[in-house]
Amino acid sequence: MTSRRLRFEKLLSLLQGASWALAIAGSFYLFLLFLPFGFIIAFVVGLFSFLFAFFFVIVFEIAQIQIEKLEELRKQTELLERLNSIK
């Protein structure tokens, strides 16, 4: 079970890194692609591209935080059960 969870966390980290790469490189590429049509249009397209990819960065970060929160709650539950069994 632990190795499965570890794989999932590694996958989340990989997807988060890929999302960052997509956000930065993709928006820069689209900015350069639309630059002949004007700076304002290229800036807006690049910005929307960055925001779209950044959405996935946030989603994967929230997933990572929820996993860490679940781990902490499991540790606290185990400690509380130990304290309860002592009484």
Q: Break the chain into its structural domains and give their ranges.
A: 2-86
The CA distance from 23 to 18, in Å, is 8
The CA distance from 79 to 73, in Å, is 10
> pLDDT tens-digit profile of 28-82?
999 999 999 999 999 999 999 999 999 999 999 999 999 999 999 999 999 999 9
Global pTM reads 0.77
The CA distance from 71 to 12, in Å, is 16
φ, ψ for residue 38, nearest 5 deg = 130, 150
